[in-house]
Structure formats: C-alpha cells, structure tokens
Structure 1
Amino acid sequence: MTTPRDPVGTRDRILDALETLLLDKGMSQVTLENVAAAAGVSKGGLLYHFKSKDALLAGLLRRLGERADEQVRGVVAQGKSVAEWYLQAPHPDNETDALELALYQSMLAAMRTVDAPADAGDESDRALTEILDAWKTALDNEIPDPVQSEIVRLVGDGVYLRALLGMPPIEPDLYRRVVDRLLKQR
C-alpha cells in the first residue's frame, strides 16, 4: 500500500521481503537486519514502518487479512456464496488470479510465523485473531445456523491446510458432492 509519505511502497517491499524470507528460509532467519537487507532499506527505514519484529509479523498478518477481506468483498459483490468460496482449495498454479496467488503466498508465509518464540508479543496474536474473526463473521452472516457455519469453517480450514501442505487434491467429483451435501444442510 502506498501513501503520500511512502510513494514507492516501502512498507509493501518490506512485507514482501519478510514473506520471501519466511518462505525460503523460515522463521529462524527473520531478523530486522535480514528483512531490511532483503527489502533494500536501512534498519532505520524498516523501524520507521514497523517498531519491532512483532509489529513486522503483525503487519504481514494484517496484510493477509486485507487480501482475504478483498476477496470476500469480491465474492459478495458478485453475488456468490461466501461458504462456497471458503470451501475452495487455493490454486497456487493459477497465475491468472493474482489476488488468490498473493493470498496463498501470504498464508504460507504466515504459517511459518508459528515458529516465532512464544514471547514474541501480542500484536501478531491479535492480528491473526482479527483475520480468523473476520472470516467467521463473513460465514456467520451468510449461514444463520451457528453450528452449520462452524462446520463450514472447519471443513474449509482443513481443505486449505491440505492444499498448503501440498497434499493431493480430493477427486473433484467427490469433493463437489461433499460441498453440495454440506451446503444443502443450511
């Protein structure tokens, strides 16, 4: 995101560098110095945007949330089902859907942050909670039965995790029948 004070998108460059470090090398290599170097900014430049490592990780999670919120808004604007969207597996090979690919990459990177020390701070935890709450709210707004909404969320989480782990997809016809049965119970 660019701002008048940040016309070249330094904040996004920093988050992109963090994402790349997480994906390529893991949490053990995420230091403020390494992220700044990978982003091509000084450590002071990084600290201008993110006051700590926890704030940096929270920034990555918040950007993930923004990307997911953008997708949910798009689904709703097109009159499509949020539940159907939530139950879809990510498509990392689909280069025509840049937003989906960006979300997929961000989710993979975010999962790598679970290696952060438990005392890393509360800001990252709050950011992740906000993302999960937003997705739950979107499903709850569409599905009036809270139990059914929770079942859809849990199945969607499992489908997404399966894809993120690189497991083979479920046979498409069988999966379509699973989704149909699940959503017919609404």
Structure 2
Amino acid sequence: MAECAVCGKALASRGRGRPSTYCSRACQARAYRGRKAGEPGAAVAGEVAKPRIGVRERLLDTAEDVLLGEGVGHLTLERVAAVAGVSKGGLLHYFPNKLALVRAMIDRLVEQMAIPVDAEPGAAARAFLIGSVEPPQDRRPERVAAALLAAATLDPTLLQPLREWYETFQRRLEGDGIDPVRATVVRLAADGWFLSRLFGLAPLSEPLAGQVRDHLIEMTRRAPRSG
C-alpha cells in the first residue's frame, strides 16, 4: 500500500487517476515549506524517501503533541523543549516566547487552509465547503484547531492570522463569479458545520448530511452574479 511521502501513513486508495502523495493537507503543506526553505530531504511528488523535518517544524509538531496529549495548561516552552529533546535556549532561537510559539502553530493551520485556484464560477465556495464539511483522513489538524481555539480565549490576538485569512478569502468569494450573497451564505454554513462537527454538536445522520451538502453545493452553481 502506498504511504504518505511525509509521515509514512498508509494512503487510502483513490481508485482511478494519479495516486495520492500525502495523507492530508498538513503533510502537503509541510512538504511545501520544506522545499521552499531548501531543507535537505524535503519531499517531492514521487519520492519514496521520507524527508528530514527541520528543527522548527519538529518543535511545532512537539508543541501540538503536548497540546493534544497534556492540555493547554501544559503547553509551556520548558515542556516543549524537554519533549523535543532540545535546550530551552535552542527553542527560544525559533520562538522567543509562548505567544510566538502559539502564533506559529496557528499560522501553520492557516497555511493548510489554502483553496486551489479555479476559474469556474463558484469554485472557491465549493472547495471551502467540501474542505470544511467532509471529515479528513487525518483528524489531527482538527484536534489542534479545537485546542488552539480554547487557548485563544485567553488571548484573542492569537486569532489575528485567522482573521486576516478570512478577510482575504471573503473578498475572493465576492468575486467568485456567482451571487456574492449565495457564496457568503455557503461560507457561513460551512463554518457552522465545521464547528458543529469539531465539537460534536448534534451530528447529522449520513443521509441528512448528504442532502444538506448537495443543497449547499447547488447554491454555488445557480444564479450567476448579475452585471
């Protein structure tokens, strides 16, 4: 069975077409950052060898492990350094304080939210909807997002990268080639669905979820923008 080029997890079969290279957007984004930074061993499509993850990425991975395994109260620079096996001074080289560390964790989640560019009307709204409502193979990014949202209640400025991403994406939706009201309704519905799924709030049955999803997708295909 094929494995993810970054983490080595088994990849689910996609049937026909080009096989997957990564198990999740998280691994795809990590490979991209590694190539951009010129890290030795960074994964590229088709490579079998796994990449060597840079120190900064390893520290962020460790911070996520601590957050998920021990809770936000244990997410300290000292704990992350100890679990990662580096000195606190080594960690401070990359993250001078806890705020910088948490911001970097949120920045990385935002990077994973990239929406492919497609000229077809409504494409951005559809991509956002599908990415928000369909459970991914790798649930780790969602669990990290939930934990970081809890952390952000203590310091709302941590959400600034996410606010900036949404402001940019909203402008893109309004120019998505369909009625901007419809596009925005789909975005807001997808956001609510994502949070409902994330926190287990009245999960939808499979038939109903499919019907709601199809209805929202249909909203991205009808009533092209006038003018």
TM-score normalised by the chain length of structure 1 = 0.74
Alpha-carbon distance in 2 for matches of 1:78, 1:60: 32
Q: Pick the aligned partner of 1:19 from 64, 75, 84.
A: 64
Deviation at 1:64, TM superposition (A): 0.6
Across the two proteins, how many residue pairs are aligned to each other? 173
- The correspondence for 2:123, drawn from 68, 73, 81, is 81
**Percentage of pairs with the same residue:** 33
User: Aligned partners of 1:78, 1:40: CA distance in 2, in Å?
Assistant: 48
Deviation at 1:110, TM superposition (A): 2.5
Uncovered stretches (5+) of structure 1, i.e. residues with no partner: 96-100
SS of residue matched to 1:130: helix
How far apart, CA to CA, are the structure 1 residues paired with 2:119 and 2:105? 26
Matched, 1:91 2:135: yes
| Runs of 4+ with >4 A deviation | 4-8, 77-80
How many angstroms apart in 1 are the aligned matches of 2:82 and 2:205? Answer: 43
CA RMSD of aligned residues (A): 3.1
**Matching of residues 23-102 of structure 1 within 5 Å:** 23-69=68-114, 72-73=115-116, 76=118, 81-88=123-130, 89-92=133-136, 94=137, 101=139
Matches within 5 A, 1:1-186: 1-2=33-34, 3=37, 8-69=53-114, 72-73=115-116, 76=118, 81-88=123-130, 89-92=133-136, 94=137, 101=139, 103-117=141-155, 122=157, 124-142=158-176, 144-167=178-201, 169-185=203-219, 186=222
Q: What amino acid sits opposite 1:126 in the alignment?
A: Q
Q: Which amino acid aligns with 1:81?
A: A
What's the TM-score once normalised by structure 2's chain length? 0.62
Deviation for aligned residue 1:117: 4.5
The separation in 2 between residues aligned to 1:43 and 1:149, in whole angstroms, is: 46
1:37-87 residue CA offsets vs partner (Å, 9 max, x unmatched): 222221111111112211111101111111111xx12x7499993323322
Distance 2:100 2:176 in 1: 33
> In structure 2, what residue type is equivalent to 1:91?
P
Which structure's CA Rg is the greater one? 2
Q: Secondary structure at the match of 1:68?
A: coil
Structure ranking higher on relative contact order (CA contacts 8 Å, 6+ apart)? 1
Q: CA 1:143–1:174 in 2, change beyond 3 Å: closer, same or farther?
A: farther
Give distance in 2, aligned partners of 1:103 and 1:143: 30
Ranges in structure 2 where 5+ consecutive residues have no aligned partner: 1-32, 41-51, 223-227
Aligned to 2:113, the other structure's residue is in SS state helix
